[in-house]
């Protein structure tokens, strides 16, 4: 499972199956107060939020947004959670249930409230409220399309679209929104009508009636559209009715407005009203006929455009064009949701099914790509960690050999050098040149120690009281009995003036007795490699010229 790196802004209190949500403050100063208030509370990645049920902690930052976070796993690795909704509005369905329960209880009404998941849609998209005489379905997002002729009265979130024909046919549509209020969310109910802005009200200002959810705006709309009682019309016979010309011009304007917004239903209804209008004079009737002819032509064009739009929608869905299908389906639902034929209904349903399948396929593809990218990144991090650990082991082992290599058992020394060799093959690009040379030197030294030591006489220290006799048989010239030995070619005072390139004995220190010459831990004579380096350095340095003595200067 891939690790979602989006910040978690909501949680539940007390336990994983709790229904008590809360929102974390985004600012550091507010989070301090939040922590003090909830000092003895626990926060959870709630199951009703689509979470894993794990416990959460709070993360305070001054340079970015504060958020909830999971505790690390037992292995120290970040916790992986499959929760999809993590933003501030991810717990809105819990806030809706809590607010609806309190609102209905204050009016002595009980209701069953649950989180429906029609067609396996995400948890929290829909909240069903079932009362004794009415059912409401709250659509918080666009995952589930509202059913206007179903058993539930739709209440739409602010992101759920509605077409003009539906507003005209139903008179109004109720909406819902949630506003942040500290660490909570406050529910507001709105009423949207055709050509009118949405009016918003507090939940306490609303009521449940036989008609359904009612706001003050709903009451005004229903009252303005209700037909007055017959007795009221009978008592007002003195009111002057508008003449046919005035009524016709009003209907003309309504047709023009409806055509501007593409309201086919309104144009058809007003056209029918104009056809049945009585009492019009000859001039007005001629205008009515002209308007009706234009309206008929417009309706015919709309019918052709509607048919063409459904054909295009069918072709786009059959051809697998997701973008084209999505745009056409939204357009069809907006302007052609009324009076659909069976073929049109099947076309729209097939397009919706295709889009749902394409969406699932896209999500699965994105999930696989993210999982592959996460696995690749995890492998890269693990490789980097292993290399860093190997480099640290190499350096630790080299320090151990430098300090204890003289007294270390041969088997242990060989084991460590073998380990150094294996690690150097893996992380050679991470080591310095000096470390690589040290590893090579230790390999050579171990191989040399494994060879049987030559049987040589024990070197004796020269008697300081006896002056050495000159070796008359040896000649310093080549071609005689032998060459001058290397240690005799370097002044004794310079024997230890350089670091030994073989045993890495520092300047001023004798060489290690790694080839077992003599009984001591150090050699009586320096290694040949050390002497050669000193002799080479001496040969490169120019000799100082002594001033010539002049005769008679003494």
Is 119 found in the same domain as 201?
yes
Choice between 449 and 297, residue whose per-residue pLDDT is larger: 297
Is 183 found in the same domain as 111?
yes
- DSSP letter string over 26-68? SSHHHHHHHHHHTTT--EE--GGGT----EEEEE--SSS--EE
Percent of the chain exceeding pLDDT 70 equals 86
Per the document, the length of the chain is 554
Choice between 262 and 472, residue whose per-residue pLDDT is larger: 262
Of 114-123, 253-262, 449-458, the poorest mean pLDDT is in: 449-458
355 near 325, Cβ under 8 Å?
yes
* Mean pLDDT of all residues in 451-467: 52
Q: Give the residue among 375, 381, 370, 323 at the shortest CA–CA distance from 84.
A: 370
- DSSP letter string over 536-547? HHHHHSPPPPPP
Measured CA to CA, the distance from residue 445 to residue 150 in angstroms comes to 89
Tokens 């659909």 belong to residue: 340
**Residue 166: Cβ within 10 Å count:** 19
CA distances from 20 to 162, 166, 527 (A): 32, 36, 80
Banded pLDDT at 177 (limits 50, 70, 90): very high
Measured CA to CA, the distance from residue 280 to residue 247 in angstroms comes to 9
Domain count, the chain: 5
pLDDT value at residue 107: 84
58 near 148, Cβ under 8 Å?
no
Residue 466 lies in a domain: no
pLDDT value at residue 98: 92
Measured CA to CA, the distance from residue 485 to residue 470 in angstroms comes to 15
pLDDT value at residue 472: 42
pLDDT tens digit string along 391-428?
Answer: 998 999 999 988 888 788 888 888 889 998 898 888 87
* Mean pLDDT of all residues in 51-71: 88
pLDDT value at residue 543: 58
Q: Give the residue among 5, 28, 24, 27 at the shortest CA–CA distance from 13.
A: 24
Q: Is 499 exposed, middle or buried (0-12, 13-18, 19+ CB in 10 A)?
A: middle
Is 261 found in the same domain as 163?
no
Residue 107 lies in a domain: yes
- Residue 470 predicted with pLDDT over 70: no
pLDDT value at residue 2: 47
Q: Is 458 exposed, middle or buried (0-12, 13-18, 19+ CB in 10 A)?
A: exposed
Residue 230 lies in a domain: no
- DSSP letter string over 79-146? PP------SGGGGHHHHHHHHHHHHHHHTT---EEE---GGGPPTTSEEEEE-SS-EEEEE-SSSS--
pLDDT tens digit string along 418-437?
Answer: 998 898 888 878 888 888 89
Residue 460 lies in a domain: no
All residues at 6 or more sequence positions from 156 whose CB lies less than 8 Å from its CB, including other chains: 139, 146, 162, 173, 174, 175, 176
Q: Give the residue among 514, 492, 494 at the shortest CA–CA distance from 504.
A: 514
Measured CA to CA, the distance from residue 292 to residue 109 in angstroms comes to 51
Residue 425 lies in a domain: yes
Is 348 found in the same domain as 440?
yes
Residue 527 lies in a domain: yes
The residue out of 55, 86, 117 marking a domain boundary is: 86
- Residue 440 predicted with pLDDT over 80: yes
Is 416 found in the same domain as 316?
no
* Mean pLDDT of all residues in 325-337: 77
* Mean pLDDT of all residues in 287-291: 88
Q: Give the residue among 178, 189, 206 at the shortest CA–CA distance from 107.
A: 206
All residues at 6 or more sequence positions from 158 whose CB lies less than 8 Å from its CB, including other chains: 175, 176, 177
* Mean pLDDT of all residues in 96-121: 88
H-state helical runs in 320-341: 322-335
- Give first-to-last CA distance, the chain, whole Å: 99
pLDDT tens digit string along 356-371?
Answer: 888 888 888 888 888 8
CA neighbours closer than 13 Å in the CB half-sphere of residue 510 = 11
CA distances from 32 to 37, 41, 63, 487, 490 (A): 9, 14, 15, 77, 76
Is 366 found in the same domain as 298?
no
Is 311 found in the same domain as 256?
yes
- Read off the tokens for 407: 């007294």
Banded pLDDT at 241 (limits 50, 70, 90): low
- DSSP letter string over 159-178? TS---HHHHHHHSEEEEEEE
Measured CA to CA, the distance from residue 320 to residue 351 in angstroms comes to 10
Is 418 found in the same domain as 377?
yes
Residue 235 lies in a domain: no
- Read off the tokens for 261: 């917004």
pLDDT tens digit string along 482-522?
Answer: 567 888 888 888 888 888 888 888 888 999 887 777 777 88
Is 350 found in the same domain as 279?
no
Banded pLDDT at 346 (limits 50, 70, 90): confident
- Mean pLDDT score across all residues of the chain: 82
Report phi then psi at 13, rounded to 5: -95, 145
Reported pTM: 0.45
Is 345 found in the same domain as 401?
yes
The residue out of 450, 485, 514 marking a domain boundary is: 450
Is 302 found in the same domain as 408?
no
- Residue 155 predicted with pLDDT over 90: yes
Residue 326 lies in a domain: no
CA distances from 96 to 128, 129, 184 (A): 10, 10, 11
The residue out of 320, 351, 386 marking a domain boundary is: 320
Residue 530 belongs to what domain range? 493-535
| Greatest Cα-to-Cα distance within the chain, rounded to the nearest angstrom | 161
- Residue 235 predicted with pLDDT over 50: no
Of 83-97, 175-189, 231-245, the poorest mean pLDDT is in: 231-245
Is 164 found in the same domain as 123?
yes
* Mean pLDDT of all residues in 101-120: 87
């Amino acid at each position: 499972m891939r690790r979602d790196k989006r910040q978690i802004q909501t949680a539940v209190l007390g336990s994983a199956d709790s229904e008590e949500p809360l929102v974390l403050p985004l600012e550091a100063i507010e989070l301090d107060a939040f922590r003090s208030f909830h000092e003895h509370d626990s926060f959870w990645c709630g199951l009703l939020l689509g979470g894993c049920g794990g416990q959460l902690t709070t993360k305070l930052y001054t340079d970015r947004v504060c958020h909830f976070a999971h505790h690390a796993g037992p292995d120290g690795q970040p916790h992986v959670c499959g929760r999809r909704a993590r933003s501030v509005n991810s717990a809105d369905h819990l806030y809706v249930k809590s607010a609806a329960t309190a609102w209905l209880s204050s009016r002595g009404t009980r209701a069953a409230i649950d989180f429906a998941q029609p067609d396996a849609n995400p948890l929290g998209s829909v909240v069903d409220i079932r009362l004794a005489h009415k059912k409401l379905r709250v659509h918080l997002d666009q995952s589930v399309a509202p059913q206007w002729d179903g058993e539930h009265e739709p209440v739409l979130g602010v992101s759920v679209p509605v077409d003009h024909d539906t507003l005209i046919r139903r008179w109004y549509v109720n909406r819902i929104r949630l506003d942040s209020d500290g660490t909570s969310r406050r529910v507001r109910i709105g009423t949207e009508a055709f050509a009118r802005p949405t009016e918003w009200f507090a939940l306490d200002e609303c009521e449940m009636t036989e008609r359904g959810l009612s706001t003050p705006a709903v009451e005004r709309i229903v009252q303005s559209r209700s037909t007055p009682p017959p007795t009221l019309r009978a008592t007002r016979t003195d009111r002057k009715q508008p003449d046919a010309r005035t009524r016709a011009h009003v209907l003309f304007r309504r047709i023009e407005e409806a055509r501007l917004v593409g309201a086919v239903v309104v144009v058809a209804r007003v056209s029918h009203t104009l056809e049945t209008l009585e009492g019009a004079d000859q001039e007005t009737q001629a205008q009515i006929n002209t308007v009706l002819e234009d309206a008929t032509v417009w309706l015919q064009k709309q019918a052709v455009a509607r048919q063409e739009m459904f054909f295009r929608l069918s072709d786009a869905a059959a051809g697998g064009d997701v973008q084209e299908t999505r745009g056409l389906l939204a357009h069809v639902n907006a302007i052609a949701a009324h009076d659909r034929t069976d073929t049109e209904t099947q076309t729209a349903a097939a397009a919706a099914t295709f889009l749902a399948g394409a969406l699932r396929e896209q999500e699965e593809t994105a999930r696989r790509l993210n999982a592959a990218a996460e696995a690749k990144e995890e492998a890269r991090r693990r490789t980097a960690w292993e290399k860093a650990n190997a480099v640290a082991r190499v350096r630790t082992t080299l320090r151990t050999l430098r300090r204890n290599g003289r007294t270390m058992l041969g088997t242990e020394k060989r084991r460590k050098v073998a380990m150094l060799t294996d690690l150097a093959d893996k992380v050679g690009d991470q080591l310095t040149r000096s470390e690589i040379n040290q590893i090579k030197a230790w390999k050579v030294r171990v191989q040399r120690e494994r060879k049987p030591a030559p049987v040589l006489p024990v070197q004796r220290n020269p008697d300081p009281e006896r002056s050495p006799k000159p070796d008359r048989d040896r000649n310093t010239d080549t071609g005689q009995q032998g060459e001058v030995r290397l240690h005799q070619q370097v002044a004794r005072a310079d024997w230890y003036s350089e670091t030994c390139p073989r045993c890495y004995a520092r300047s001023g220190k004798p060489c290690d007795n790694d080839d077992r010459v003599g009984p001591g831990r150090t050699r009586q004579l320096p290694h040949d490699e050390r002497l050669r380096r000193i002799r080479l350095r001496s040969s490169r340095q120019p000799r100082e010229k002594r001033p010539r003595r002049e005769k008679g200067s003494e």
